[in-house]
Amino acid sequence: METYTLIVLLLAATIRVATPLLLAAMAGLFSERSGVIDLGLEGKMLGAAFAAAAVSATTGSVWLGLGAGILTAVALALVIGYACITHRGNQVVAGMAVTIMVVGLGPTLGLAWFNLGGQTPQLDGAGQRFTGILWPWAETAREVPLPGLLYAELLSGQNLLVYFAAALVPFSAWIFYRTRFGLRLRAVGENPHAVDTAGISVNGLRYQAVIISGVLCGFAGTYLSTAASSGFVRDMTAGKGYLALAALIFGKWKPWPTLGACLLFAFTDALATRLQGVALPVVGVVPVQFILALPYVLTVLLLAGFVGQAVAPKAIGVPYSKEK
Amino acid sequence: MSKEPAAPPSTPDAPPALELCGIDKRFGAVHANRAITFAVAAGSSHGLIGENGAGKSTLMNIVYGFHCADSGEIRVQGRTVEIGSPQQAIAAGIGMVHQHFMLVENFTVLENVVLGVEGGALLAGGLAAARAELGRLARDYGLEVPLDAVVSELSVGLQQRVEILKALYRGAEVLILDEPTAVLTPHEADQLFAMLRRLRAQGKAVILVTHKLREIMAVTDRVTVMKQGAVVAEVATRETSPRGLAEHMVGRAVLLQVEKRPAQPGAELLSVKALEVRDRLGVARLKSVSFNLRAGEIVGIAGVAGNGQSELLEALAGTRAASRGEISFGGRDLVREQLDPRARRALGLAHVPEDRLRMGVVAGFSAADNAILGYHDAARFNRGGLRDEAAIRAACAAKMAEFDVRPPQPELRLAAFSGGNQQKLVLAREIDADPQVLLIGQPTRGVDIGAIEFIHKRLIALRDAGKALLLVSVELDEILALADRILVMNGGEIIGELARADATEEKIGLMMAGVRAEVSP
């Protein structure tokens, strides 16, 4: 294979891996900028993945699946919100609790409903999955070396959720920095007292942020089970929620840098997959476990070494009460 | 500070800008506000004074909609209004400048001002309109602030201006300021007072909540004194005096200025040479500080909070490492030997920390345990390797009796005591060890007037007993009342030294603002 074909395929894989990561990171962005730590990302995604696959398999409509995924993730987000915002509970504990609950609940319900060892049925019917959308002349363009291949492999042929995720970044940036809602959201994560004295409901804003996080997690989970694969598998998020959180921190809680972090993490993941079983110069074939650990090793190194300057929203993790 | 005559209310019969009628509020067993009634006319300024816990803050929080009164009425321009949230207070034309600023530090001034009144779902239009309106307000009231500066980069005085602008931008006719000068230099405070007079002249009603008598005398027309949740006096400011107000606040005659004889300084007990402290980022917080302390004198360190005083105290006490320099005490160099706070205490260097709750006590422990913190290994508190509970309790009871700590219950949790009584206990603990040098930071922060008098007397008694005291305080009055020699800090340096006899508020104020003694007029 020619080098640039290899690179283009690597980039295509990056996009596939980056999509759920980006959706989850944007979800976390809304929640955390409002001051609520989003350790429930993993659980909300996993719950949505299960609900989307189950509904899509039962009804035959991936759109109903998406709806179910969003509803499930929002419901889980509201559980976290109720515990952390209304009752000022510990945000880390609430998020972890929801994640742990879903890890067990998904396969259990799956077993009860479908009797397939905790998985959902294979989504192979028409309209049961989000599939790639071919752009005009994609096949023709493939013949043109580099630009054509990029058009055919990267721009064209992705599914709707990928385009949605890509559009989400500029849209989020616009929301955060150009709208009233964004101003208030950023304020409530920095100094909720200022927001309260300005006559705006702190809890109301945080609930809105948490619900948005739920909706976006719904998209992320749906992508995993109905676009990236065809059905729900136990633990299919495989730590992506936490990786998204790491990307969010590496991206300093800002939309565009977070996109960069997601792409970087996704690229190492794609590279790792590509490197499996390949004999490298000097070291020979690297054990597959080592290669699979690569993205996470990179995460630890990046978070330890390169984000020293990252300043978290000041009020993050602190339940709001009027008394100082 | 000259006092200008108050602008008279527009018409004699105009209803008051704000009127409180029988405001009553209970928190459980605590009766925080008892039938509070007073009125503030438009174009006048009204002082609300009282000790900590007198119910001032509760009352203002009710007016601003943070709490709901159990009974009573609030009237604005003669109309009864329902205020259940800050939003309703703002709508009624009430603005509040809180003691802890309600600003988003990483926002610009403009963003802070429009937060909550953005004027549309998209920011661009609202921000442009706000910019024009703020320009007008700045001209009318002399409130110039760089609108595009990030708030965290502004001085505290400017941040306070932003808060005032916020209130005016929301159309406040009644402006409440809660302890507005706590964080200002004397010069900034004067600027604030000038601003408040301008607001008053333009017909706003200003309410100044404070425990500082000087401010009341400087800017208010009338003053309401609160004690234990009730109004105990309401007088015209020109018909009263600081002494009269203090008596109302405490309920008995108080000495505002503690009597003391001139100092008789003896031998040098502690000397500091070229002391330097760097923070975690390597920034010098203390730059080549040198001074000495002699037996039988109180040296006061004046300065705006955050100019190195805390670092100096901590470096001396041993809770923060010095990067260079020398601290000689008892024939040893504390810096070179890197003695820890405990070893320094054992040598006779006691420390009453600035932040009592964070560094001086464990609020959840009993008073008895707090009274031996740091000295808990002393032989008299232990028997056979275990704590000697009876001795600990007896020692605490003795300290409580000597320092008039109320209630005198050694087993009570420290958090249940008032700030003044906590501080008395800490002071008792440190004095009990018979130190040669006492480092004391903000001795009367959060302490009521009655206790201030007591604490000041004890500190002077300690000085007269031949000890050396280093007093760090942001309250200039306190420095002037106690210190025999005054060092002024600015930007991590000692910028000047004054004998008490030469010190005036103006001289110290200039130095606090960074003007060196040599160039001041």
A105-114 average pLDDT score: 92
Q: How many domains does chain B have?
A: 2
Compute the distance between CA of residue A294 and CA of residue A287 in angstroms, rounded to an integer: 11
Q: Which of B66, B86, B123 sits opposite A180 (nearest CB)?
A: B123
CA distances from A321 to A34, A196, B86, B459 (A): 15, 10, 15, 38
Helix (H, G, I), strand (E, B) or coil at A8: helix
Q: How far away is chain A from the Cα of B445, in angstroms, using its nearest Cα?
A: 17
Q: How many domains does chain A have?
A: 1
Q: Which amino acid is at B219?
A: V
| Domain termination residue (choose one: B250, B276, B299) | B250
DSSP-assigned letters across all residues of B249-293 = HHSS---SS---PPP---SEEEEEEEEEEE-TTS-EEEEEEEEEE
pLDDT in tens, A54-98: 999 999 999 999 999 999 999 999 999 999 999 999 999 999 999
Q: Which of B86, B115, B166 sits opposite A183 (nearest CB)?
A: B115
Q: Regarding predicted confidence, which is higher, B112 or A309?
A: B112
Q: Are residues B277 and B235 in the same domain?
A: no
* A314 interface with B at CB cutoff 8 Å: yes
Neighbouring C-beta atoms of residue B123, cutoff 10 Å: 21
Tell me what pLDDT residue B1 has: 39
Q: Is B181 a member of any domain?
A: yes
- Domain of residue B444: give its range: 268-512
Q: Are residues B383 and B427 in the same domain?
A: yes
Among all chains, which residue has been given the structure tokens 């944007």? A26
DSSP-assigned letters across all residues of B201-254 = HTT-EEEEEES-HHHHHHH-SEEEEEETTEEEEEEEGGG--HHHHHHHHHSS--
Do A20 and A45 form a contact (C-beta atoms < 8 A)? yes
- Domain of residue A98: give its range: 2-303
Radius of gyration of chain A (CA): 20
Residue B19 pLDDT exceeds 80: yes
If we measure between CA atoms, which residue out of A26, A23, A25 comes closest to residue A49?
A23
Instruction: Give the pair of three-digit tokens for residue B143.
Output: 């409130």
Q: Is B1 a member of any domain?
A: no
Taking CB atoms and an 8 Å limit, are B116 and A198 in contact across chains? yes
Compute the distance between CA of residue A224 and CA of residue A219 in angstroms, rounded to an integer: 9
Q: Is A314 a member of any domain?
A: no
Mean pLDDT of chain B: 88
Whether the model pTM is above 0.90 = no
Residue B521 pLDDT exceeds 50: no
> In sequence order, which ranges of B103-234 are alpha helices (DSSP H)?
109-114, 123-141, 156-169, 186-201, 213-219
Instruction: Give the pair of three-digit tokens for residue B333.
Output: 């160099």
**Cβ-based neighbours of A136, under 8 Å, separated by 6 or more:** none
B381-402 average pLDDT score: 93
* B281 interface with A at CB cutoff 8 Å: no
Q: Is A323 a member of any domain?
A: no
Task: Give the confidence band of A282 by pLDDT, cuts at 50, 70, 90.
Answer: confident
If we measure between CA atoms, which residue out of A320, A99, A299 comes closest to residue A217?
A99
Q: How far away is chain B from the Cα of A57, in angstroms, using its nearest Cα?
A: 40
pLDDT in tens, B255-305: 667 788 888 899 999 999 999 999 887 888 999 999 999 999 999 999 887
pLDDT in tens, A4-47: 788 888 898 999 999 999 999 999 999 999 999 999 999 999 99
Q: How far away is chain B from the Cα of A219, in angstroms, using its nearest Cα?
A: 26
Tell me what pLDDT residue A146 has: 74
Provide the CATH number for the domain around residue B381: 3.40.50.300
Q: Is B255 a member of any domain?
A: no
Q: What is the DSSP letter of A156?
A: T
Tell me what pLDDT residue B55 has: 86
Q: Regarding predicted confidence, which is higher, A294 or B127?
A: B127
* A278 interface with B at CB cutoff 8 Å: no
60-89 in chain B: CB under 8 A from chain A: 64, 66, 85-89
Q: Are residues B413 and B278 in the same domain?
A: yes
Tell me what pLDDT residue A306 has: 67
Supply φ then ψ for residue B15, to 5 degrees: -65, 155
B183-208 average pLDDT score: 89
* B468-472 vs B324-329, strand pairing mode: unpaired
Helix (H, G, I), strand (E, B) or coil at A142: coil
Q: Are residues B312 and B236 in the same domain?
A: no
| Chain A residue with the nearest C-alpha to that of B120 | A180
Neighbouring C-beta atoms of residue A234, cutoff 10 Å: 15
Taking CB atoms and an 8 Å limit, are A194 and B120 in contact across chains? no
